[in-house]
Structure 1
Amino acid sequence: MRIYEYRTEFAGLPVAEFSPSADPSKEALASPASYAWAVRTGYDEDAFGDVWARFLKTVDTSGITALVIGYWGIYEDKTDVPRLLSDAAAALPALRALFLGDIQAEEAEISWIQHSDTTPVFTAFPALERVEVRGASGLSFEPVRSEALRLLRFESGGLPSSVVRTVGQSALPNLEHLDLWLGDGDYGGDATVDDLAPFLSGEALPKLRHLGLEDSDIQDAVAAALAGAPVVARLESLSLAMGTLTDTGAEALLSGQPLGHLKKLDLRHHYLSDMMAERVRTALPGVEIDLDGQQELDEDGGLYVEVSE
């Protein structure tokens, strides 16, 4: 899967575009707090720092609650986006939701998106309730302490173990939704099951209701770990989608703790046999189960995650 479209909605709001090639509508300028604002530049267009400065000057940002950051140059522009955001904290006092990296494949493949130290974002905006990040190359941040954060999501073709461990070391007592696209080892996804221990125990995230450990090339091992993980008993939804789940991992799930309390189990993009897929459906009759995207081994017996490069 490759991402070819920008976000048109974020945090429950329609997206208003601000870029060198997209002037905001009169409606958006008249009521900026009614939109999630996407600020981006394009290849061979104005430097992102200049676009960002115009955005702050043009739009009344005092009531904006949701912000989407798109293409910022990636290679040719070395702008420190987290620092730009943190420096503008006073102009964005109402910010509660941030998407960092709304970049489509024609601009940069997900594993080519170059990040930096994102700590300034969390420090400057302690009231953030929702943070989503696409891409993981160069991504880092210090352990976060936040009473406000409710949703945290990392989309990547390979999430570094250092990022996974940092999330596990963070103090997020009110986090309800966590998605980690663990990715492929060939694209930097080197996290192990041991790195997932803080999430699996449930101790670090007492309010967690959704857990997604997705797009992983060690999906069977993750499934086996979840089979006995204390956190599962209080989840409402669990996702092992997009990865290399086979009959071995599904068997581990079915042989482990009860899953009938879940509202949804997402196993989309999997390598289950028809027989095993039917076993999963039969074993969990009251659970909404997504088993779309059944994959077949390639001629060399290879398994592939849905999102890598």
Structure 2
Amino acid sequence: MEFPNDVPLYPRSVGHLDQFHGLPVLAFPQDPSVRDLPADPASVAWCMRGGMGSEDESSDAYWDRFARTVPLEEVRALVFGAPWYGMDGWGAIDELVEAAPRLVNLEAVFLGDVEMEESELSWLEQCDLEPVLRAYPRLRELGVRGGKDLGFPVLRHEGLRTLRFETGGLPASVTRNVAASDLPSLECLELWLGDEYYGCDTTLEDLRPLLTGERLPSLRHLGLQNSQFQDEIAAAVAHAPVVPRLASLRLSMGTLGDEGAAALLSGQPLTHLRFLDLHHHYLSDAMMLRVWDALEPAGVRVDLTAQEEAERYDGEESRYVAAAE
């Protein structure tokens, strides 16, 4: 599928990033003898994966070696993976805050670039993001994987353009605080809500302030995804004031069925969208055809891949989100 140039592309599954903030991701070498590094430190998103390849170097020593080797003043993007996020996220946060006087051009941070072989999504512990947001008022992009113990402050942040949470269970406190924050420059917001058994207590009422768009005047790309109540979200989005100014809408990865898709089609026009992401869904073939017929002729790129089939137990239907455990 070809995507419009103004629609941000993100991974569709929980795996290591190969691109971040429009830059290729490069892991800083775990082997201290490796000296072959890019001449331009701003040309890559540096990924921290230290303390895994050598028994003699701790994660702290690995970070210190990075800070001595790479001019931090020229770094634009940082990605933190294992082992910092094998247990919790405080190590990376502490390093980031301490290095703020040198990371003067840092634009983007991703916390928790951990794949399944390293940690299940539901095991991945996070932390309070307030210190890093306060330390970097000009940060443009923040991505976070993992919802356990995740905290987001109510704040005004002038810099953020992109905010993305990949979780198997998004705490309601995070959703409410994002909705209550003033983020005047935010263009892209993506929330993976997850499963109640893995920590999601976010409700539709928690999402409604986001759907007004009042505190997000620059928003053009919205994702409310990976949800057990995807039909209800689709019905609310069908009449949401924020939708007419969106370029892309993602309602993918959840339990969306014919009821939700029908509500979406019967609401306000969606033909202005550049991209509608519904992948991993429970739509019938007939409903998929209705969606295509309604939107594709108008030039909307629609992703309806990964059609799922509901399971039945004792006569009851069960649907599952794409990323939970």
TM-score normalised over the length of structure 1: 0.94
Q: Write the letter of the residue equivalent to 2:323.
A: V
Q: In the alignment, is the contact (CA less than 8 A) between 2:89 and 2:112 conserved in 1?
A: no
Q: In the alignment, is the contact (CA less than 8 A) between 1:9 and 1:15 conserved in 2?
A: yes
1-structure distance, mates of 2:34, 2:201: 41
Q: Residue in 1 aligned with 2:192?
A: 181
Give the alignment partner of residue 319 of structure 2, picking from 279, 297, 303.
Answer: 303
Q: In the alignment, is the contact (CA less than 8 A) between 1:122 and 1:144 conserved in 2?
A: no
2-structure distance, mates of 1:205, 1:96: 20
Q: Residue in 1 aligned with 2:303?
A: 290
Give the alignment partner of residue 274 of structure 2, picking from 245, 255, 263.
Answer: 263
Q: Write the letter of the residue equivalent to 2:59.
A: F
Q: Write the letter of the residue equivalent to 1:91.
A: R
Q: In the alignment, is the contact (CA less than 8 A) between 2:89 and 2:126 conserved in 1?
A: no
Query: Identity of aligned pairs, percent?
Result: 50
Q: In the alignment, is the contact (CA less than 8 A) between 2:25 and 2:47 conserved in 1?
A: yes
Q: Residue 152 and residue 76 in structure 1: after superposition, are their counterparts in 2 closer, same or farther (change >3 A)?
A: closer
Q: Residue in 1 aligned with 2:21?
A: 11
Q: In the alignment, is the contact (CA less than 8 A) between 1:146 and 1:172 conserved in 2?
A: yes
Q: Residue 129 and residue 75 in structure 1: after superposition, are their counterparts in 2 closer, same or farther (change >3 A)?
A: closer
Q: In the alignment, is the contact (CA less than 8 A) between 1:131 and 1:152 conserved in 2?
A: yes
Q: In the alignment, is the contact (CA less than 8 A) between 1:41 and 1:72 conserved in 2?
A: yes
> Secondary structure in 2 aligned to 1:91?
coil
Tell me by how many angstroms 1:25 deviates.
Answer: 5.2
TM-score normalised over the length of structure 2: 0.89
1-structure distance, mates of 2:263, 2:117: 39
1-structure distance, mates of 2:205, 2:78: 34
Q: In the alignment, is the contact (CA less than 8 A) between 2:89 and 2:125 conserved in 1?
A: no
Q: In the alignment, is the contact (CA less than 8 A) between 2:246 and 2:273 conserved in 1?
A: yes
2-structure distance, mates of 1:305, 1:148: 32
Tell me by how many angstroms 1:166 deviates.
Answer: 1.1
Matched residues, number: 307
Q: Residue in 2 aligned with 1:213?
A: 224
Q: In the alignment, is the contact (CA less than 8 A) between 2:141 and 2:163 conserved in 1?
A: yes
Matched, 1:31 2:44: no
Tell me by how many angstroms 1:20 deviates.
Answer: 2.8
> Secondary structure in 1 aligned to 2:318?
coil
Q: Write the letter of the residue equivalent to 1:175.
A: L
2-structure distance, mates of 1:135, 1:76: 11
Deviation string 1:169-219 (CA, Å, 9 cap, x unpaired) is 111011111100011111111111110122101111111101000000110
Contiguous gaps of at least 5 residues in structure 1: none
Could you say what the CA RMSD is over the residues aligned between the two structures, in angstroms?
A: 1.9
